[in-house]
Structure 1
Amino acid sequence: MKLKQFYNKTIILEDLKRFFGVSILYFLAIFVSGPLYVYSFSNIKNKYQLESVIEAISGLEAHGLISATAGILLGVLLFRYLHNKDSVAVIHGYPFRRSELLNSHIISGIILLTIPIALNAIILAAILPEITSNVDLRLLFGNNVDVEKIASLYSTKQAIYWFCKMEIMSMVFFLISVLAATISGITIIQGALSFILPFVPFFIITMIRAALNTFVFGFGAIARNWDTFAMKIIPIPVSRHNISQDLNYVVWYISLCILLYGFSLWLYKKRDLEKSQDTIVFDILKPTFKYGVTFCSMLLVGGYFYSLKENILWLWIGGFIGSFLGYFLSQMTIKKSIRVLKSLKGYIIYIIVVIIVILGVKVDLLGYERRIPTQDQVKKVFFNDFDLHGKGLVENQNIKSILAIHKIIIDNKEDIIRIQNQKDYSEMTYITIGYLYKNDKKILRCYRVPKTLLANNEHTKELYESKEYKKISNKLLLELDLNKVNSVNIRNYRYGKKKIISNKDEIKELFEILKTEILTEPYESMIDRNEWATIEFDTNDDAYDYGFRLYLADNMQQNIHIGFKRTYSNLEKWFIQKGYLKDIRILPEEIDYLIIQKANRDYSQSYDDYEIEQDLKTGNTKRAEIKDKQKIEEILKTLDNSSFKNNNYIVAIYTKSGIVHYGWYNEESASRYLK
């Protein structure tokens, strides 16, 4: 095809003359929310202002919505003639090929959308280097930050990246609007489809994932991957992270534009001009529209009903109502009439198909829920780790233990589901189990199981106490670069104590002792949720904390938090030697006395201190008052600070400062001190 037959210059010039106002408004909208806003921070005084500049440049919340709206609006205006019988007859009566018409209007749209973005990108490129030219970035972020990398954010390269993101967003939505124009015969329907179609993949994937998570035992493990993928199929303007910089996604976005254009061109050539007032002009697409609306309505209303009660019956009722409304509303839209009850047969067939699919999932026809590999098939296993590309566990005993744990979970499926339905989530825990086969196949499962199911079996104990598991589960701490640690902050939130260690030699000593404690920690201590305090290795990396981690991740190290367990005796001795223990945990010398008394009510759900005080004043239950310092120390090391669950005694700690703290004891522990 000759180039002059590909487009028509006259049509393009006419479009530019008619719709240049949209382009001007688009330029002003981007300018006000972008370059002008960035320039207002030209005199940077603190890191929060610098962070705001990054948000303005990288954020697509405002820019993305503007780009999407501009793209759709231009698509509607340029192809509005398709939805008017007189206009479509006149325009297609000219000696132009249909491909010439479509290509000319698309080129016009590209020009009208690209010029405002390009002009704003040029302005950004001019003002960005001035942002940090007179600012000492080390004063804002500390010496650990790579100043050159931060400065690179305010460069021509960043303006080019911003231009590419905006161009992709506007082009995708513009071409979706063009596709909607070729499919529909009514302008309002084109606009509605243009806004709805980009969200359809994300909505369907998310809702199907939620439904499978409800019906399929163990499916939830891949939810995170599904949501990430769904967000990036089409760059919808809901998050600044939705346009990925990954080369594969960049190629996909370009391919998506080509596919949208190709499909629009093919449909435009096939379009029946006499159907310019039909809701959907292609008969073959009407069932797709009808059942697509039905399916999405079923998922939406069913999901909403389920969120109200988290009950399967409500899910079924909501799904039925949603599918019924979706089916008949779509029929009314297509036929432009309320007389659609004669099409009930199609709805009945749809319901039968849905029921068959759901029953197939429930009975696990594909064996998804029951699938456990044999030990000789497995190269490595992953426990509580979504990343199947990591190191994993390779020792035979650990593989054997995890296979055994997995089998226990599957064998107890009915009991687990029954306990889940009781919604006592405080007694449940999430676990993930992943396998990398020797043929490189991967499977991943996620379960919410009762804590007792894991705690009370020998396989969990064997796994937790293995050196390999401890090293992998604590890899962030064990692989910590101490050169990046500025201080260690030890906080006891319960008793309001805090100690900061800044001496590099002491930090190294503490780290080595803590590492030894972790690698030799017994299983009983590992599952104990009670601890004296929280130890934080502070990298003081403000760039990590304030959002620059998105761009400077190569040099960033996240702060590491770990509990100071009551069983860490060597670490406690070190704190005593340094004279720090009094600043970290409460000591018997700070306590006047303790009272152990049987509770008159259940405090496992909610309570306040006043209720406990009133309970203690009754004095009509078993009670003991402890003043012996040795016994107080024993109680401090054994009482439960986390929950009243499985306990029935109150432990009231009366400090010499007049403040009262509360803990819990079970019958067995309390009996040692009761008279």
Structure 2
Amino acid sequence: MQSKTSLFNKQLLKQDLMSAGWIGIVYFAGLFFSLPLNLMMLESDERRNYSFNSLFDSNAEIQLFLLYIIPVLVAVFLYRYMHVKNAADFIHSLPITRRKIFNHHFLIGIALIVMPLLLTAVTLSLMLPAMDLYMIYTQTDIWEWFGVSVAFSLLLFSAGVLIGMFTGVSAVQGVLTYIFLLFPAGILVLIYSNLDVLLDGFPSSYYQLTNVDLYSPLTDFVDMYDWKFHGWKFSIYMLLSLVFYVLAWFVYHKRPAEASGQPLAFHQVRPIFKYGVTTCMMLFGGFYFDQTDNHFGWIVFGYIVGSLIGYLVAEMVLQKTWRVFGKWKGYVLFLAVAGAVILLLSFDVTGYEKRLPEAEQIESVYFNENPMYYSDERSTKNIRDMAIEDPRIIRQVQKLHQQLIEQSSSILPDDRSNEEKLFFSYQLKNGKMINREYYIDLDETYEQYLKPIYESREYKEIKNRILTMDENDFGNLVISSEFDRSSSTSIVEKTEIKEALQQLKQDIYDQKYEEIVHPSDTMAYIEVPEEENMFYQLPILRSYENFQSWLKNQGIYDQTIIQADDISYAVILDERDESQDVYETLYEEKNGDNGLVTENKQKIGRILETVTSEHYGTEDSSHYYAGFYLEGENNPVVRPISKANVPAFVTDYFGDK
């Protein structure tokens, strides 16, 4: 009589522990070094202060490496018998059903992953009262770390097992597992980047930087420092692990016995693999040349070269030989289909480029040089909160958008370095959003459309958050010199803080279009509170006359704003005479042979008045650059000189050369 077989077969268990048991030992050793041992060392060093946001902060890089590698290694080694013909024949000849064989390996894999995590968690739990570590972590932190690590590890393990069912080579299983997990986020980035090339107005940066990382566990999990793992995400990870397990179990039963040693076990999957790799490489080729050259001709070249490389590599993998250069029929067919799709997108058959919402459909519009980049679920809410609601300004935005549509071109410009990015986000009354993004030259072509928008009170309040802040939010007002950030003045009197901020706000409200587009140089910074114990530095421009007058009336202008007397000497260079970047030249030496060196305080003061913002390459800058050397400093502060205000002694000097 045939005896019943238990879920765990002793021979299979012995084989699994011999082939993959060492991974569990290595995993526990790595975790013990990263957490308990590291905490012991930190606690024993009385000179060292440390704190963690979560237990993932303890040797975070090592933990991340282990979490990314160990689950996939377990999947590869436990199911390696499928990739070796003799081993596969032997295992499947045993009096055990395929279902029990598969489940046995899967459960052993779970044990090899979960047991090291559980032992580490128990060790941390025992250390907590024994070493009085309650100021560092709590029992809740331990089991939260354990739960998150288990959910992530099981997702990677089950994905590795699923991919292993489709291939007959262990190395291919490991590589394809990471490709499979990265694919959703990676393909979205490639698609968005290429649509930016093919569709005028497509807001690629908005879509790329708004939650794209959530579509892959590998990118979603990488930021361990501000990491929040919500309950819904834990549920999704566990559900996906279950789905991958069921799919892997189903495919395991359908897997042909002769698949060992084959890159792909199923012939039906080969075309998907071949043309999938070709498509991804084509998109990557276009993306690469868009980022490096940004010229449409080179982007098309990238499409062709990328797709060709992808097709050949896929064929080499499938045929297991490099002699595939005679198989062109499939590539020609792919090129024809891909070319048709690209042409259809370029000709805007969907009407995407010309789609502009009617005024009566618009509730508000967010308009700025850049999208509000938020990598969480609040992105839409924040854009709505900072949107323009004034119907008059909305009409101006529509006029600008219509002008951009009429002058749009599907061919990319040769250079975008001097162009401004404009982002539109229409919030419609039906709850939908329409987002667009353009690059334009800030010249007279668009001035009549941009001027009323930029000078409007509502737009300025969106651009400058300080305008809507209460003066009482400032416990003190710290003003730092632009040239020497270590030098600062702090104002603590409430009345003085209020007066200073009122003058600053008035300067911002008074700004004209020309000053907004081509700002003068920064003379100082003030610290603006952002979050609890967090600040950002707001630049104070030299054109802010009200704020300058207030500083002078308070008698702190000279000690806050850099003066000509504070500068040892200045060097002016003509960019046309330089064989290298003027910033590099000025950092190396005075360069008296090629530039104008002056220690005259009057001339230095005149130059200070005419330099523009440090935004390199702005249209307002001339080809002259000034390097200011402070007393006792070797490195200069470099600024371009305003095109409209080049001092006469500068043009006289370089004109005589």
Cα shift readout 1:398-418 (whole Å, capped 9, x = no counterpart): 11111122222223324x966
Partner of 1:389: 381
Q: CA deviation at 1:327?
A: 2.1
Question: SS in structure 2 opposite 1:49?
Answer: coil
Where do residues 496-515 of structure 1 align in structure 2 (5 Å cutoff)? Answer: 498-515=488-505
Q: CA deviation at 1:28?
A: 0.2
CA 1:529/1:123 → structure 2, altered by over 3 Å: closer, same or farther?
farther
What code does the residue aligned with 2:114 have?
Answer: T
Question: SS in structure 1 opposite 2:165?
Answer: helix
Q: Does 1:115 align with 2:106?
A: no
Partner of 1:268: 252
Counterpart of 1:299 (choices 264, 274, 283) is: 283
Q: Would you say the 8 A contact 1:598–1:648 is kept in 2? A: no
Q: Would you say the 8 A contact 2:610–2:641 is kept in 1? A: no
Q: Would you say the 8 A contact 1:12–1:107 is kept in 2? A: no
CA 1:222/1:590 → structure 2, altered by over 3 Å: closer, same or farther?
closer
CA 1:268/1:458 → structure 2, altered by over 3 Å: closer, same or farther?
same
Q: CA deviation at 1:352?
A: 0.9
Partner of 2:401: 406
Counterpart of 1:568 (choices 538, 544, 567) is: 544
Counterpart of 2:641 (choices 664, 669, 675) is: 664
What code does the residue aligned with 1:573 have?
Answer: S
Where do residues 88-487 of structure 1 align in structure 2 (5 Å cutoff)? Answer: 88-127=88-127, 151=135, 154-223=137-206, 225=208, 228-235=211-218, 238-240=222-224, 245-304=229-288, 307-338=291-322, 340=324, 343-384=327-368, 385-386=371-372, 387-390=379-382, 391=385, 392-414=387-409, 420-423=413-416, 425=417, 427-452=418-443, 457-475=447-465, 478-479=468-469, 482-483=472-473, 485-487=475-477
Cα shift readout 1:171-227 (whole Å, capped 9, x = no counterpart): 122112211221112333323323432233333222222222233222244445467
Cα shift readout 1:366-422 (whole Å, capped 9, x = no counterpart): 2222222121111110012434423111110111111122222223324x966x413
CA 1:33/1:440 → structure 2, altered by over 3 Å: closer, same or farther?
same
Q: CA deviation at 1:104?
A: 1.9
For residues 156 and 352 of structure 2, the distance between their equivalents in structure 1, rounded to whole angstroms, comes to 38
Q: CA deviation at 1:341?
A: 5.3
Q: Would you say the 8 A contact 1:221–1:444 is kept in 2? A: no
Q: CA deviation at 1:68?
A: 2.9
For residues 210 and 397 of structure 2, the distance between their equivalents in structure 1, rounded to whole angstroms, comes to 27
Q: CA deviation at 1:611?
A: 7.3
CA 1:168/1:242 → structure 2, altered by over 3 Å: closer, same or farther?
farther
CA 1:45/1:295 → structure 2, altered by over 3 Å: closer, same or farther?
farther
Q: CA deviation at 1:640?
A: 3.8
Counterpart of 2:527 (choices 493, 516, 537) is: 537
Gaps of 5+ in 2: 373-378, 653-657
Cα shift readout 1:260-281 (whole Å, capped 9, x = no counterpart): 1121011012112233333222
For residues 17 and 601 of structure 1, the distance between their equivalents in structure 2, rounded to whole angstroms, comes to 71
Gaps of 5+ in 1: 135-150, 542-554, 620-624
Answer with 65-74 or 93-102: which moved more. Answer: 93-102
The percent of aligned pairs where both chains have the same amino acid is 24
CA 1:499/1:94 → structure 2, altered by over 3 Å: closer, same or farther?
same
Q: TM-score, normalised by structure 2?
A: 0.82
Counterpart of 2:516 (choices 510, 526, 547) is: 526
What code does the residue aligned with 1:442 have?
Answer: M
Q: CA deviation at 1:169?
A: 2.6
Question: SS in structure 2 opposite 1:533?
Answer: strand
The alignment of Structure 1 onto Structure 2 pairs a total of residues equal to: 626
Q: CA deviation at 1:442?
A: 0.8
Q: Would you say the 8 A contact 1:388–1:434 is kept in 2? A: no
For residues 146 and 442 of structure 2, the distance between their equivalents in structure 1, rounded to whole angstroms, comes to 51
What code does the residue aligned with 1:38 have?
Answer: L
For residues 87 and 605 of structure 2, the distance between their equivalents in structure 1, rounded to whole angstroms, comes to 90
Answer with 157-166 or 356-365: which moved more. Answer: 157-166
Answer with 252-261 or 123-132: which moved more. Answer: 123-132
Q: TM-score, normalised by structure 1?
A: 0.80
